[in-house]
């Protein structure tokens, strides 16, 4: 008899948590073992219980980071397969997940492929990622119109960094930072960096996590 994969769900929202549970229970290949609302508890559960796969929301209860939890689990239990799930279009998530060696990534609202299909592929040894992050409208511009450096600076602006602090953190000149900010304002049509940052945060285009150092 084929062994079922024990799946841990880490999701703080009631509706998607219940949907994940129902989908897993409908499959002959997977066994739902538990749903945890905070990523902060996921590592402990994976170390103390039989878990083969984790569906990990990236932002969970009280802001606990699914990315951080996934990294800690991978460091201690490399054989556990992890699929990150999110509704946030934050452009750095895909790249960061790949660098960590995470096996799968799934966008909740827009992915055309079902989560069960992604799980089946990951279970068979495949690495499953969308080709790109979702396109988001920021003022007059689409997210793909911004350069990687501009988004890096925008993320720091949403984190409350001044232009001078951004220049030091990115190892670029203050004038270069100002030019990037001016370009983003021109593209988006916003009047100032505060308006730009507030809207970017609201759309989920860039999210500066607590204690985040790299992106």
79, two tokens: 């054989």
**Whether pLDDT at 157 is above 70:** yes
Note the pLDDT tens digit of each residue in 159-177.
899 999 999 999 999 999 9
The average confidence (pLDDT) of the chain is: 90
Per-residue pLDDT tens over the stretch 51-93:
999 999 998 887 788 999 999 999 999 999 999 999 888 878 8
Has residue 214 got a pLDDT over 50? no
With bands split at pLDDT 50, 70 and 90, how would you rate the model's confidence at 209? low
pLDDT at 210: 45
Distance CA 103, CA 114 (A): 16
Give pLDDT tens digits for 31-42. 999 999 999 899
**Residue 133 pLDDT > 90, yes or no?**
no
Read off the pTM.
Answer: 0.80
More confident residue, 153 or 208: 153
pLDDT given for residue 79 in this prediction: 94
Task: Count Cβ neighbours within 10 Å for each residue of 158-182 and write b for 16 or more, e otherwise.
Answer: bbebebeebbeebeeeeeebeebbe
- Rounded CA-CA distance 76/40 in Å is 15
Residues 6+ apart with CB under 8 A from 142: 135, 136
Q: Tens digits of per-residue pLDDT, 94-125?
A: 888 999 999 999 998 777 789 999 999 999 99
Q: How many whole angstroms separate alpha carbon 9 and alpha carbon 55?
A: 5
As given in the structure block, the two tokens for residue 18 are 């219940």
Which domains, and CATH codes, for the chain? 5-123 (3.40.50.2300), 137-203 (1.10.10.10)
Max Cα-Cα span within the chain: 66
């Amino acid at each position: 008899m084929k062994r079922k994969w024990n799946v841990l769900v880490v999701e703080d929202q009631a509706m998607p948590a219940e949907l994940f549970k129902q989908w897993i229970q409908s499959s002959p290949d997977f066994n739902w073992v538990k749903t945890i609302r905070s990523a902060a508890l996921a590592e402990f559960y994976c170390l103390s219980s039989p878990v083969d796969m984790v569906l990990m929301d990236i932002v969970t209860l009280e802001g606990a980071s699914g990315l951080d939890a996934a990294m800690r689990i991978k460091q201690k239990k490399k054989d556990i397969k992890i699929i990150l799930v999110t509704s946030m279009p934050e452009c750095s998530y895909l790249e960061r997940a790949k660098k960590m060696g995470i096996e799968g990534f799934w966008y909740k609202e827009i992915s055309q492929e079902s989560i069960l299909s992604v799980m089946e592929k990951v279970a068979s040894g495949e690495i499953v990622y969308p080709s790109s992050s979702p396109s988001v409208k920021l003022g007059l511009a689409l997210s793909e119109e911004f350069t990687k450096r501009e988004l890096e600076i925008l993320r720091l602006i949403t984190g409350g960094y001044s232009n001078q602090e951004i220049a030091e953190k990115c190892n670029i000149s203050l004038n270069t930072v100002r030019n990037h900010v001016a370009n983003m304002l021109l593209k988006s049509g916003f009047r100032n960096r505060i308006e730009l940052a507030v809207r970017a945060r609201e759309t989920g285009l860039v999210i500066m996590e607590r204690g985040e150092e790299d992106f």
